[in-house]
């Protein structure tokens, strides 16, 4: 997976769908499909997953250092992002993320974003993987 290269920065909100609703709203896991620009993309495989629970902006300075280190490792309410690298039925590879920060007081859940599209860096590597 290290030879994947970003080919397009997208950074747009998306709608996601799950076969079963997530057990935890703030840690929903990888969705089964997403809708971007009125097109549905079926997720066939989660290629990787990572989490970034660092506090940003003014939130970075409102905790004691020991507590901030714990929060960066485990996350805290409304802070951080869960990233997923996925392969779709159409053969395209995307990074998407769930931003755990609520958008406003009436909507306390986070939001999903399509971060970027990726591709194999060379034709030989792509052909060897059957993509």
* Cα atoms in the 13 Å half-sphere on the side-chain side of 73: 6
When divided into structural domains, the chain yields a total of 1
Q: Which residues constitute the domain of residue 70?
A: 4-128
Tell me: the pLDDT tens digits for 34-86?
A: 999 999 999 999 999 999 887 666 655 555 665 555 555 555 556 789 999 99
pLDDT of residue 41: 98
- How far is the C-alpha of 44 from the C-alpha of 121, rounded, in Å? 21
Q: Which residues, in sequence order, are bridge partners of residue 34? A: 16, 41
Which pLDDT band holds residue 3 (cuts at 50, 70, 90)?
confident
Is residue 15 pLDDT above 90, yes or no? yes
Collapsing DSSP states into helix, strand and coil, what is residue 73?
A: helix
- Count Cβ atoms within 10 A of the Cβ of residue 34 and give its class: 0-12 exposed, 13-18 middle, 19 or more buried: buried
E strand or H helix that includes residue 115:
strand 111-120
pLDDT of residue 66: 56
Mean pLDDT of the chain: 81
């Amino acid at each position: 997976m290290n030879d994947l290269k970003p080919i397009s920065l997208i950074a747009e909100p998306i709608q996601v769908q799950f076969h079963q609703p997530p057990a935890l709203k703030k840690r929903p896991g990888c969705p089964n499909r997403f809708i971007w620009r009125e097109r549905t993309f079926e997720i066939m495989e989660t290629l990787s997953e990572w989490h970034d629970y660092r506090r940003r902006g003014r939130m970075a300075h409102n905790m004691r250092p020991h507590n901030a280190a714990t929060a960066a490792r485990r996350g805290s309410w409304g802070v951080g992002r869960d990233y997923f690298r996925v392969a779709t039925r159409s053969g395209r590879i995307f990074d998407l993320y769930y931003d755990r920060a609520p958008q406003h007081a009436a909507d306390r859940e986070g939001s999903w974003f399509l971060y970027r599209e990726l591709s194999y860096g060379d034709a030989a590597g792509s052909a060897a993987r059957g993509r």
